[in-house]
Amino acid sequence: MPNEPSFDINAANKYFSANCFNNTWGYIDKKDRTAEDNEQMIQLAQASLWHWSQREDKTDRNMSIGYWLAARVYALVDESNNARKYGLLCLEYSKNDEPFYLGFAYEALARAEMTAGDKTKMNQYLQEARNLAESVTNDEEKKMLTDDLESIK
């Protein structure tokens, strides 16, 4: 059995879950990403998700958001099977959550199907997400969700 590290593991997981999540967005927003950028984006999203899974204070919502980020990243790099896989995991973890989070699970699945070229499934998931968006009471959250849904064609 290896020796215990000399640092606080939970503090490290807390730091890296948030830091990797935030750094993933730099790549998501970057125009003209290179293949190396795409790989860094994937690794950051996965690292964030793993560190969240190790945190003592993790919740289903945290995991839902982490799976959503992974789904979004895989859709951006045209890996529809991985986008779908993580979208389904997002849905699983958000099924009992508020309409905002559940709506984003369906957004992730719609985006995965858009990437896969399955317009029928994409439209079904989009409709589910739009229906949920109508139930979101926070105006800022509602706009965030509906703006993301509008980017799916």
Q: Using one digit for the tens of pLDDT, what is the confidence trace for 59-68?
A: 999 999 999 9
Residue 2 lies in a domain: no
Residue 36 lies in a domain: yes
Give which of 133, 65, 148 is closest to 100, Cα–Cα: 133
In this prediction, residues 11-18 reach a mean pLDDT of 95
In this prediction, residues 36-65 reach a mean pLDDT of 97
Query: How large a percentage of the chain has pLDDT more than 70?
Result: 99
Residue 88 lies in a domain: yes
- pLDDT per residue over 70-83, tens digit each? 999 999 999 999 99
Residue 3 lies in a domain: no
Residue 1 has pLDDT above 90, yes or no: no
Residue 90 lies in a domain: yes
Residue 100 lies in a domain: yes
> What is the extent of the structural domain holding 107?
9-150
Q: Provide the pLDDT for residue 4.
A: 80
Domains: count for the chain: 1
Residue 4 lies in a domain: no
Q: What is the DSSP letter of 8?
A: -
CATH of the domain at 70: 1.25.40.10
Residue 65 lies in a domain: yes
In this prediction, residues 139-143 reach a mean pLDDT of 97
Whole-number Cα distances in Å, 74 to 29, 47, 96, 114, 131:
14, 14, 24, 12, 25
Per-residue pLDDT band for 8 (boundaries 50, 70, 90) equals confident
Whole-number Cα distances in Å, 147 to 41, 68, 93, 103, 152:
22, 16, 23, 12, 9
Residue 116 has pLDDT above 80, yes or no: yes
In this prediction, residues 105-114 reach a mean pLDDT of 98
How far apart CA 100 and CA 145 sit, in angstroms, is: 7
